[in-house]
Structure 1
């Protein structure tokens, strides 16, 4: 028998002994839900599980939403979806202190569990927090701090956990659900919508919606647990631990759409009345910017493990090929064929907007129209030059 196996057996024996000593009738198991913060990473809230016993001094908060900035190649792994998150354990005061500092609300729901169920949850989490088990591959929609706790409840309570009637549940896609949290962050909303592909436009079922901590809190709050043949509320008692700081500075929620509509109007007017050569450097910058965006979208699709960034139809208009258009302008060799093709593509996207199976951000319409206008402007110029050259000489 190998050393690793002996160590595992020893760990489980110690864990069972620790469980027996610390879990009793007065032990409480609570779902802790934390409100949104001002930073993008905290926009969607947070979930954790708290196990507490006043008689033994047991006080442990299990938090699946942690990662280590000191991880080698941290930013590369984060961008490529290869960063390991891990289960962190701390005490309640230290956990809440972070949210108090950030001015965010914290809500507790004590679960109505038997002593055996509490012991099983405690043993499972302690085993999960061991060095060999605590790391996992994070996925924003399918494997995060909230879904992990949902899975713990379902795995350990089994068929005794009864969710509320799902037939009355409203339908929503993953994209629609996260959009509700980004109303006060318009630039983040735009960036996230550009980065996410068609998988986010799939309808989230009842369980999948619990990737958001608020939905986990709401659904466990309505759930029942079967005990001695009788259905009882899963949540025994609940209440606010920490109120939101009313002085918390909120992000500027001003609409950004007007910026892109002004851009579109400018591109159309100049395309009609101003020779494109006078706006050559504007077009070069514009096309390079869109081309770089296309490269980023392509990398998120093909060079990462993020499931949500696959099949991103924003590449139809934000194509890396726009960079070639900019190069043609720098060389003073605008191609009629290039700009004709891109003008047709962009106009077609607008015409068939409704039937495209991906939900685009509202700002995309004026951006696409602006691209179409500038492409048409260069195509129109080349057409006029060619027509003049083909005219019979007198």
Structure 2
């Protein structure tokens, strides 16, 4: 049996109240928002996430561990803080399995079977995903399958192999054995074909590591083709859901570094704006692509804002939430970001609808000062895969040691 963990929520630093998007100022305000502010009474801060849901943005937790499940923490977040789903990745499982003693008993039992390290890791991860799916089952039923989802990712080392990705996606779906699971597949060129093929088998997919609007357009086409094939294969389309995970803060980190290198006043004035503008351009594409999506029984593939933890301490801790709120979206947050939203208590309403033109103008400014976005996107995609591969290999090495 797994040891019962202490029930505790991680404490996040308080977020400054801000009225817009950009760097904090001494007065606690920021640059102009694309939508009017709509404050929530801070005395009832938990309603901030409920109001976010009312705008159309579902809050998912970007974290999972056995301790979070056994302590009742995940259940508490669902019941009291409007958490409607969970995402995982190799880095999250590496952190979860490398600390504490929650996995010790199961690892000791697995060691008797002499499994390969990756087999042991996936057995533990699948058990966590199954338990999380069960905790979220009522959300899944209540939302008609849109939420209540738990994602588990394919091995990042096979992201350039379409056939192996499809094979593992199929295997993970069968082993987890929960309708409310989602299989995460990176949006690499090879991954696009695997995404279509996985959807065609009736499997729900979380498409991850999307950085550019151009790649997002390809993801949408892969989704639509997969849904058509699933229909032709006789699957119930109403049960197939998908999200497209569009990364936000990593864009700002990379672009801000380049703006600092350019060094002009104009360049520096654009810091902290690329990530949100990029996501808003993606949302405009989502609206265009799905407004006439009319395959009977099929669901829209919702944009999911990922990498929403702020990397720059000078930026408002909730900026990638409040500035990316709108219909048919998901925001997956680390717990520190979730707590920052609750601490702020400020939701500005729909900050996505109609924001594409202004976001495009910001992009034009960024390009005019010398930002090469094709280069930025290519670098971030490679780094994203490399980071997950490194985390995965570190976890496998640690597991190998613990299995001895």
Same fold (TM over 0.5): no
Structure-1-length-normalised TM-score: 0.23
Q: Which entry has the higher C-alpha Rg, 1 or 2?
A: 1
Instruction: Tell which has more relative contact order, 1 or 2 (C-alpha 8 A, sep 6+).
Output: 2
Which protein has the bigger strand share? 1
